[in-house]
Amino acid sequence: MYESLALLTRRSEQPATMPDLLQRYGRVLLESGKPDDAFRAFNQALEGYQRFPGAFGPDVERLLFLDLTDALASLNRLPEAENYWPYLVENSMPGSIPQQIARCRLAGKTEREECKGALAAAIHDAGENPGHGELLRRAQWTSNQLELQRQ
């Protein structure tokens, strides 16, 4: 995938922004129903972030782990996805969107409705803040996936 993006950007080296591009590309693939390709893109993004440590802050890490877990869940690899969710619950700000997403994913069927309410409240609290766009996108994805599981 690095090679494809290198052709698009017309650069032979791997710039520090490449992991971010791969992560965004992976999200598009996931939301387009291509979880295998998305998972590969997310793993390459993770490798890239490890190569450029300054580009991998806690917010980026949480988004990437949300993306990886969404891809794993879409691939029916729930035991692997469940490895990330407790980490996100423990390492996200209390009541934050990443924490609520992880809690909803961990919740059993009886707790799911309550959890969805907490997620909706976190989304509402984020309001129209443009800085929360990526988080809101993932929250909506989770809400839709939980609704599909309920059916």
Q: What is the pLDDT of residue 120?
A: 82
| pLDDT grade for 35, boundaries at 50, 70 and 90 | very high
- Domains of the chain: which residue ranges? 1-56, 58-151
Instruction: Say yes or no to pLDDT of 38 above 90.
Output: yes
Distance CA 30, CA 124 (A): 25
Instruction: Say yes or no to pLDDT of 7 above 50.
Output: no
Answer whether 63's CB lies under 8 Å from 42's CB. no
Instruction: Quick: pLDDT tens for 43-86.
Output: 999 888 888 777 666 778 788 888 998 999 899 998 898 888 89
Query: 92 CB contacts (<8 Å, ≥6 apart)?
Result: 62, 98, 99, 102
pTM reported for the whole predicted model: 0.76
Place of tokens 């996805």: 81
**Token pair belonging to 125:** 């609290």
Instruction: Quick: pLDDT tens for 94-142.
Output: 888 888 888 888 887 678 778 878 888 877 877 766 667 788 888 888 8
